[in-house]
Chains A and B, each alone.
Chain A
Amino acid sequence: GAVVSQHPSWVICKSGTSVKIECRSLDFQATTMFWYRQFPKQSLMLMATSNEGSKATYEQGVEKDKFLINHASLTLSTLTVTSAHPEDSSFYICSGGTTTDTQYFGPGTRLTVL
């Protein structure tokens, strides 16, 4: 199956700093990339959708100035959490979408903000 990688797999940072998470589709070109966050024992919550070379579309309630998304190529998207605070601590997961609607998910990034 298609493989999506994320880096880093976990990160701990101090409150007020920014953190960048990379998402790469390794063996396919993702026409669309999605970013989710997931709290313990809960479902995936879509944060934003991005297409290569276009501005991301954010879900209602997601601050676009806080969660910066860049989709530079068909195989790379980045999520930057700016001025992180403890409430931003979560499991962030990206996925790559194909023209057949199938989404392949990355392994996730555990963010802990102290």
Chain B
Amino acid sequence: GENVEQHPSTLSVQEGDSAVIKCTYSDSASNYFPWYKQELGKGPQLIIDIRSNVGEKKDQRIAVTLNKTAKHFSLHITETQPEDSAVYFCAASKETSGSRLTFGEGTQLTVNP
């Protein structure tokens, strides 16, 4: 089955700096890659996603890049703010899995003011 690895497990940055979280996946058939933000005691919130026919997608301060050949994708957050502090999860799925997501282990991002 699919395996998603996520790095780093913790990331601490200063406010205003950029943060990058990287994920690799094992199943070349995977074609959908969402990123979720989870605040303490809450459910995951979809922040951005990308499909395999696109190499990069941007939404304001957040961007995701996908390298299908290398089977890895990354989340980039620019101009970080304290409210960006949360756990971020990457995930992968493929059409034949019935939308079943395989999650990475998560990254605890701390933005220091």
Question: CA A111 – CA B22 in complex, angstroms?
Answer: 32
In the complex, which range does the number of interface residues on chain B fall in? 20 to 34
Contact with B along A73-113 (1 / 0, CB 8 A): 00000000000000000000101011001111111101000
Closest chain A CB from B1 CB (angstroms): 10
Contact of A43 among B32, B43, B45, B104 (CB under 8 A): B104
Where chain A touches its partner, the secondary structure class is strand
In the complex, which range does the number of interface residues on chain A fall in? 20 to 34
Interface centre among A49, A102, A103 (most CB of B within 10 A): A103
Residues of A near B106 (CB, < 8 A) are 42-43
Contact A49 B100 (CB under 8 A): yes
Residues of B near A1 (CB, < 8 A) are 46
**Measuring CB to CB, which residues of chain A are less than 8 angstroms from any residue of chain B?**
1, 4, 6, 32, 34, 42-44, 46, 49, 93, 95, 97-98, 101-108, 110
